[in-house]
């Protein structure tokens, strides 16, 4: 079967990382792209989920709290004893 050339533009760092990964698993980048193309055609879909992980409310609140802690070292409770901290943390866990 005759082959065709495809030119792909990508960030140089990404290309280098992808090339290194392919070598680690014993593939060329061409072979990896062919695997992707064959699987896409066989399944008639992109063979992985494309989306953005959206943090839930609890995670967003935790991230905001970490930002506050970084901005103000006096924000939040401090412990000198790990056992006391764990006892308090676990006190409301039944």
Residue range 17-33: average pLDDT? 95
Residue 8 has pLDDT above 90, yes or no: yes
End-to-end CA distance of the chain: 66
Whether the predicted model's global pTM rises above the 0.85 cut:
no
Q: Helix 12-24 to helix 29-43 angle, to the nearest 10 degrees? A: 90
Name the token pair of 19: 């090339």
pLDDT at 94: 61
Contact predicate 36/47, CB 8 Å? yes
Q: In whole angstroms, what is the distance from residue 7 CA to residue 53 CA?
A: 30
Q: What is the pLDDT of residue 1?
A: 82
Question: What does each C-alpha distance from 26 to 21, 32, 48, 58, 85 come to in angstroms?
Answer: 9, 10, 21, 41, 48
**How many Cα atoms sit within 13 Å of 16 on the Cβ side?**
3
Mean pLDDT of the region 8-29: 96
Is 13's pLDDT higher than 80? yes
All structural domains of the chain with their residue ranges: 57-90
For 28-78, how does the pLDDT look when each residue is reduced to its tens digit (9 = 90+)?
999 999 999 999 999 999 998 878 788 899 999 999 999 999 999 888 888
């Amino acid at each position: 079967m005759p082959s065709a050339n495809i030119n792909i533009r990508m960030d140089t760092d990404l290309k280098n990382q992808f090339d290194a990964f392919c070598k680690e698993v014993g593939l060329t980048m061409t072979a990896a792209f062919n695997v992707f193309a064959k699987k896409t055609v066989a399944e008639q879909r992109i063979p992985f989920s494309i989306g953005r992980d959206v943090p839930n409310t609890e995670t967003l609140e935790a991230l905001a709290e970490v930002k506050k802690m970084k901005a103000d070292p006096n924000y939040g409770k401090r412990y000198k004893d790990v056992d006391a901290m764990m006892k308090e943390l676990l006190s409301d866990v039944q």
